[in-house]
Amino acid sequence: MKIQIINGPNLNLLGKREPDIYGNASFDTYFTQLQQLFGSECELHYFQSNHEGAIIDKIHDVGFSYDGIVLNAGAYTHTSIAIHDAIKAVTTPTIEVHISNIHTREEFRHKSMIAPACKGSVVGLGLFSYELAVRYFAINTLSI
């Protein structure tokens, strides 16, 4: 099973950026832990970009050949109809994840433009949100 994790803007700063919200771990460190946890079950790939078009290109690249996409679109969650459309254009199911609980933060973060295009969402559980999304794909073996 092949799973693509995609992180959007500013998530390259995990471990440094607002640790009270996002924690102290870098995503690279966490990704290594995910690979160890799911190593025999899933082939995990990771991509991060601060650019909307690069995120869309990655969704297009893997959206017909991978078994799942785990997407933290960062602030694009609340603004990007283009990412919403890219998710809908491909056959690979996507799960939206967020480290923080977007529903308890600033009001402009309460609405996700991408959620209606996704299979589901995991929010507010820290980095564990990613593990739950990957686990969903692993357990369901895409009988979805």
Q: Identify the CATH number of the domain in which residue 129 sits.
A: 3.40.50.9100
Model pLDDT, residue 35:
94
Range of the structural domain that residue 44 is part of = 2-140
Residue 82 reports pLDDT greater than 70: yes
CA distance 51 to 75: 11
* Order of all β-strands in the sheet with 43-48: 43-48, 2-7, 68-72, 94-98, 120-123
Residue 63 reports pLDDT greater than 60: yes
Choose, from 66, 84, 98, 136, the residue flagged as catalytic: 98
CA distance 120 to 43: 21
Residue 142 reports pLDDT greater than 60: no
The candidate with the shortest Cα–Cα distance to 126, out of 101, 92, 89, is: 101
Active site residue 98: yes
Query: Per-residue pLDDT tens for 15-55?
Result: 776 767 666 778 899 999 999 999 888 999 999 999 999 99
What confidence category does residue 90 fall into, taking pLDDT thresholds of 50, 70 and 90? very high
Q: Summarize the confidence of residues 95-116 as an average pLDDT.
A: 84
Q: How many domains does the chain have?
A: 1
Query: Per-residue pLDDT tens for 44-55?
Result: 999 999 999 999
pTM of the model: 0.90
Considering 11-20, 94-103, 124-133, the range whose residues carry the highest mean pLDDT is 124-133
Choose, from 22, 46, 130, 136, the residue flagged as catalytic: 22
